[in-house]
């Protein structure tokens, strides 16, 4: 309850100071989520392209209810969401690429998972989840458009069996007109397939040559179609007498 009362004050102070007065992340021109809201987050997970780190994060957050944030350290852009079990959304956004934000997925393809940080921002009970997420969305949409991946300014309620009023749906529709979808921000730009996993290319002696976040990215590097990459993964054949192509699930 104290957090709810304090949150508007945090936002007012942040807006009055502006982005330039916020302490920035080491090696980045952008503040992280904790620095922007002026309050520590519950937990931060980095280097998620490393399988051990990804698995440790999955284990630690399973069963937690609350608000989470995903941030690209290259651009500072943020995605805010909520979940009854944060573990499920972690998998959907960062492992499987399904039921996820298309802006976010395009950015993961573009910058690589190593440039993203997963924040467990705030834990709460299920009853407070939607109202708390709305407060964070209000904060997010007070930032410049380039610093957010979220499409809708109004919290989604479908996972609790709730429905939006006509006024709310109209507000959500209006918010979509404000979203920049040009270049890499276009929902179809570099979209990862729904079943995307890490694709590794090895030399004949087992040395890792390159890794990719999707079959599409691997195909582009190899100069072939996605279907060809898929066929070589399934058949376990040597590609052009030089490489083995393997997938690596987390």
Which parts of 14-96 are beta strand (E)?
Answer: 43-45, 66-72, 78-83
From CA 26, how far away is CA 127, in angstroms rounded? Answer: 36
pLDDT tens readout for residues 37-68:
777 899 999 998 888 888 888 889 999 999 99
Structural domains in the chain?
2-185 (3.40.1440.10), 198-248 (1.10.10.10)
Out of 30-44, 79-93, 99-113, 205-219, which region has the weakest mean confidence (pLDDT)? 30-44
Rounded-to-integer distance, Cα 213 and Cα 198, Å: 5
Write the pLDDT tens digit of every residue in 119-136: 999 999 999 999 999 999
What are phi and psi for residue 209, nearest 5 degrees?
-95, -45
- Going by C-alpha positions, the residue among 134, 125, 130 that lies closest to residue 8 is 134
pTM above 0.85, yes or no: no
pLDDT tens by residue, 98-111 = 788 889 999 998 99
Nearest Cα to Cα of residue 78 among 41, 128, 130: 41
CB atoms within 10 A of CB 137: 22
| Contact yes or no for 145/180 (Cβ under 8 A) | yes
Handedness of CA 70, 72, 153, 91 (dihedral sign): negative
């Amino acid at each position: 309850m104290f957090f709810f009362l304090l949150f508007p004050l945090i936002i007012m102070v942040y807006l009055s100071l502006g982005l330039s007065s916020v302490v920035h992340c080491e090696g980045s021109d952008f503040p992280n989520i904790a620095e922007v809201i002026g309050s520590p987050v519950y937990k931060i997970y980095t280097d998620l392209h490393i399988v051990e780190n990804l698995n440790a994060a999955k284990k630690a957050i399973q069963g937690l209810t609350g608000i989470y944030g995903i941030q690209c350290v290259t651009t500072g852009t943020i995605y805010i969401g909520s979940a009854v079990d944060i573990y499920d959304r972690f998998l959907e956004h960062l492992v499987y690429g399904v039921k996820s934000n298309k802006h976010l997925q395009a950015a993961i393809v573009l910058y690589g998972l190593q440039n993203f940080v997963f924040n467990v921002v705030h834990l709460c009970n299920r009853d407070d989840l939607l109202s708390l997420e709305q407060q964070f969305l209000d904060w997010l949409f007070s930032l410049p458009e380039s610093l957010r991946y979220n499409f809708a300014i109004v919290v989604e309620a479908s996972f609790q069996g709730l429905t939006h009023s006509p006024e709310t749906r109209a507000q959500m529709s209006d918010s979509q007109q404000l979203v920049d979808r040009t270049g890499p921000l276009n929902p179809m730009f570099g979209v990862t397939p729904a079943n995307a996993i890490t694709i590794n290319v090895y030399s004949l002696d087992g040395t890792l040559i390159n890794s990719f976040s999707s079959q599409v990215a691997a195909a582009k590097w190899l100069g072939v179609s996605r279907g060809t990459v898929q066929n070589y993964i399934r058949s376990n054949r040597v590609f052009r007498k030089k490489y083995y192509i393997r997938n690596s699930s987390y």
